[in-house]
Amino acid sequence: MVAERAEQAGLVDAVDDPGDPARYSREGYARIRALSRELGALRRRLDQPLPELVADVERTMRLDVEALARPGGVGRAHLDAFADVVGEYAETVPTATLLSLLDYLATADHAEDGLAPGEVEVAADRVQVLTAHSAKGLEWRVVAVPHLVTDTFPGKRRSSSWLKTVAELPAALRGDAADLPELALRGDEDRKLVTEVLADHERHFAERHAEEERRLCYVALTRSEHCLLVSGHWWNSTSAKPKGPSEFLTELADVLAETDGLGTLEHWAPAPGPEESNPLVGRSRSAVWPVDPLGDRRKAVDEGARLVLDALATRAETRRAQTRQAETRQAETGGDRPVASEAERSVSAASAVPDGAPDTAPGAEPGEDEDPDGWITDTDVLLAERARHRDGAADIDLPGTLSVSQLVELADEPEALARRLRRPLPFPPNAGMRRGTAFHGWLERRFAGDRLLDLDDLPGSADLEAHEEGDRDFEALREAFERSPWAARTPHDVEVPFSTDIDGVTVRGRMDAVFADPDGGWTVVDWKTGAVPPDERMPALSVQLAAYRLAWAGLSGAPLERVRAAFHYVRSGRTVHPVD
C-alpha cells in the first residue's frame, strides 16, 4: 500500500514538533524552534510569485547578509545568478509553481550536470574549489589537481555516438558538425562494410573524446603560477575494486623521472593485492550537532567568562558596600540619601542575575524567548545601525559587480549607495518604473525586439526621476515618441545586455537601443519617461551613458570615439547628449 503524500512524515515535521525539550541541549532546542518559526513563516507566504518567494527566502534565512559579509561580493553574485534563473523560469512557464521549479532544478542537475556555473574570480584569501572547465583563463599561486585516476580523469565516456545513443543528435545536425567525425557511407555498401564503417565511426568519436580530455588536463595543469600539486588514489570512498593512476598521472610520473629539477615524486603507493578490500568502506565517522563554534577553545573561553563575571560581581559588591557606607554617614549627619549613578545601577542589575539562571521569560519553555518573531532583536539592530550612522560614516567595500543604476548612484549619491550595500532593502513601489516598463515593452514590440528583461535591468531602474501621474498618461508617451525623430529610424539592436570591466569592477546592464549612424558610427539611446533633470545632476546621470559607450565599443569592436550616447526624454521630446 502506497502512503498518500500528505501522510508522509519528513524532517520538516520533526522540526515542527521536536518533542520533549529535555532530549536536546538548550542551545540545540532553541535553534530547532527558531528554524521551525522561519519555515512556518515562509510556508504562509508560498502564494507569492516565484522570484519574490526566492527573495523572501534569502531575507528570512539571512542568506543575503551572509553573502554580503564575504569579501568581494562573490556570494551575492551567485545569489543574483540563481535569482535570474528563477525569474527566467517564471517568465517562460506561466503556470510555474514551487514544486515545478524544484522538479526543473532536479532535472537540470540530473540530465545537464546542473545549471551553468557562474563567473569565477580569483581570490587570494581563500581556497577555491572548481572544475577544470571553470578554471580556464585563470591563475593561482598554488593549484592542486586531484583524482587523476582511471575512468575519472580522463573520464569514462558517458555515452556513445548518436548511432548507439538515442539522446544524442546525429552529427550532421549539431552546431559543431564541422569538428565531428564524418560517417563515410555512400548507400551502396553491403552489410559487412556498413558494420566496419560504423565501428570506425565510433572509434573516431572515442578518439575525439580522449583528445578533449587531454586538452582539459592541459588547462588544469597550466593554472598555477608557482606550485602545482597532482595526485591520484587506489581507493575512493565507495568502490569495491581499486582505481589506480590514469594515463595522465603515469605520464607525469615518467616525465618527472626523466627530468631533473622539474618536480618531485613525493609518494607512489604500490598496487593493492588481489585479496585486499577497500579500507574506506567500513570506516565510519561521528560528529555532534549542533557544532560547538568554540570547539577545543570552549574550556578556556568559559574560564575567561567566569573570571570576568566574578570581577564584575566583586566590583558591584564593592560599590554597594561603598553606597551603604555613604548612606550610613549621610543618615548620621542628617543629610539626604545619595542617589546611585547610572553606571552603578547598571552593574548592580547585571550582577543581580545569578550565574546559570535562564534568560527566558517566566513560564516560557526552554529554548523559547519572549520575542518569538524576532521583533525586539530586529528593532535593536536597526537602532544600533542608526546610532552608528549618526556617529559617522563607515567604510563600505564596493562589491566586484555593480549594475549601471548602482554606478549612477555611486556618482550621484554615494552615501545612499553605501547604506543600501550595508543593508539591502526592497525598493518601494515606483510609478515611474512601472510606466517605464510598460513603455519599453511597447517599444520592444514596435521595434520587433524579442529579448526578455531581467529583474535588475527593468526599464527605468536607472531613471531617478519618478512621477506620480501613474499609468494614465501612457498613451501620451506613445504619441510623444511617434512625433520624435527616433520614430522614423530603425535600431540596429534593442535591449542589449552587457558585462564590462571598469577599473577592476564588473558593470552589468542593458542598453535600450543602438542605432547605426550614416557616418559609420553608433549612437546608444536610453529612453527616459521622466522629466528632464536639472543641469547640476547631469554629470552624475551621464555616467550611465559613459558605461554604455564602453560596453558597445567592446561588443562591436568600434573605436570608442565612434560610439555616441544620448538620453531621449520622451515626454518633452528632447534628446540630450551629455557625453561626447
- What is the C-alpha to C-alpha distance for residues 8 and 151, in angstroms, rounded to an integer? 39
Which of 369, 154, 124, 170 lies closest to 243, judged by CA? 154
Residue 352 has pLDDT above 50, yes or no: no
| Strand 522-528 versus strand 563-569 pairing type | parallel
For residue 28, give every residue at least 6 positions away whose Cβ sits within 8 Å of its Cβ, in sequence order, or none. 289, 290
Say how far apart CA 528 and CA 465 lie, in whole Å. 9
Give the 3-state secondary structure of residue 579. strand
Query: Which range (87-91, 133-137, 158-162, 285-289) has the least confidence?
Result: 158-162
Long-range (24+ apart) CB contacts under 8 A made by 248-255 are: 248/148, 248/153, 248/154, 248/214, 248/217, 249/148, 249/149, 252/148
Residue 265 pLDDT > 50: yes
Looking at residue 495, the DSSP 8-state letter turns out to be: E
The set of cell numbers assigned to 311 is 570581577
Provide the percentage of residues in the chain whose pLDDT is more than 90: 21
Angle (nearest 5°) at CA 462 between 459 and 463: 85
Q: Distance from CA of residue 206 to its chain's centroid?
A: 37
497-504 own/partner pairs: CB under 8 Å, 24+ apart: 497/451, 497/454, 497/457, 498/551, 498/552, 498/554, 498/555, 500/547, 500/550, 500/551, 500/554, 502/407, 502/547, 502/550, 504/400
Contact in structure between 532 and 569 (CB atoms under 8 Å)? yes
The answer on pLDDT for 525 being more than 90 is yes
pLDDT(252) > 50: yes
* Cell numbers for 35: 528554524
Q: What are phi and psi of 152, to 5 degrees?
A: -115, -50
Given its phi and psi angles, is residue 147 left (phi above 0), alpha (psi -120 to 50 degrees) or beta? left
Kindly write down the DSSP assignment for every residue of 318-365, as one continuous string. HHHHHHHHHHHHHHHHT-PPPPPPHHHHHHHHHHTSPTT---SPTTPP
Q: How many CA atoms lie within 13 A of 518 on its CB side?
A: 1
The residue behind cell 531613471 is 463
Spatial separation of the C-alpha atoms in residues 385 and 532, rounded to whole Å: 35
pLDDT tens, residue by residue, 17-29: 899 999 999 999 9
Residue 202 pLDDT > 50, yes or no?
yes
Helices (H) and strands (E) in the chain, counts: 17, 8
d(CA 572, CA 580): 22
- What span, in angstroms and rounded, lies between the C-alpha atoms of 462 and 69? 26
Torsion 432-433-434-436 (CA) sign: positive
Cβ pair 566, 576 in contact under 8 A: yes
For residue 467, what pLDDT is reported?
41
- Higher pLDDT pick, 59 / 386: 59
In the predicted structure, residue 470 carries a pLDDT above the cut 60: no
- Please state, in angstroms and rounded to a whole number, the distance separating the CA atoms of residues 59 and 398: 21
pLDDT band, very low/low/confident/very high, at 355 (cuts 50, 70, 90):
very low
Residue 348 vs residues 179, 206, 309, 351: alpha-carbon distances, Å: 81, 80, 12, 5
Q: What are phi and psi of 100, to 5 degrees?
A: -65, -35
Distance, in Å, from the CA atom of 90 to the CA atom of 55, rounded to the nearest integer, reads 14
d(Cα 298, Cα 242) in Å, to the nearest integer?
42
User: What's the rounded Cα separation, in Å, for the pair 507 and 463?
Assistant: 17
What's the pLDDT tens digit per position in 129-172? 888 888 888 899 999 999 999 988 988 876 666 777 766 777 77
In the three-class reduction of DSSP (H, G, I as helix; E, B as strand; rest coil), residue 550 is classed as: helix
pLDDT tier at 401 (50, 70, 90 boundaries)?
confident
Query: Rounded mean pLDDT of 348-361?
Result: 43
What is the spatial distance between Cα 36 and Cα 60, in angstroms, rounded to a whole number? 12
360: left (phi over 0), alpha (psi -120 to 50) or beta: beta
